Amino acid sequence: MLWHIIVSLVIGALVGWLAGKIMNSRGSLGRNMLLGIVGGILGGWLGSLIGVNATGWVSSILLGIGGSCLLIWLMRKIRK
């Protein structure tokens, strides 16, 4: 159980870093990693709502990147 949480956090941090690069985010590495973890949760939740289940590593990472990019976009809109 603990191992699963640690791996999820590391993948979330990687996803946040990738989403920051995709969205050309000027935020710090720590902020992008936090957005990746929260975005991964958001992406998984939205994926389950539309019927896309994360059954493997690749689908989990893609849903996480999508959720993180959405979260970065929303943060930009809220700040304006």
Q: Write out the chain's pLDDT in tens, 80 residues.
A: 788 778 878 888 888 889 989 999 887 878 878 888 888 888 888 888 888 776 777 888 888 898 889 988 998 899 87
The two three-digit tokens of residue 5, written as one number: 């949480």
Residue 78 has a pLDDT of 92
User: Which backbone phi and psi does 57 adopt, to 5 degrees?
Assistant: -65, -45
Q: What is the pTM of this model?
A: 0.82
51: region left, alpha or beta (phi > 0 left; psi from -120 to 50 alpha): left
For the chain, strand residue ranges (E) read none
Residue 34 has a pLDDT of 85
User: Which backbone phi and psi does 27 adopt, to 5 degrees?
Assistant: -70, 165
Residue 5 lies in a domain: no
Residue 38 lies in a domain: yes
Residue 69 lies in a domain: yes
Full residue range of the structural domain in which residue 43 is found:
18-79
Q: How many domains does the chain have?
A: 1
Residue 57 lies in a domain: yes
Residue 48 lies in a domain: yes
Residue 22 has a pLDDT of 92
Residue 66 lies in a domain: yes
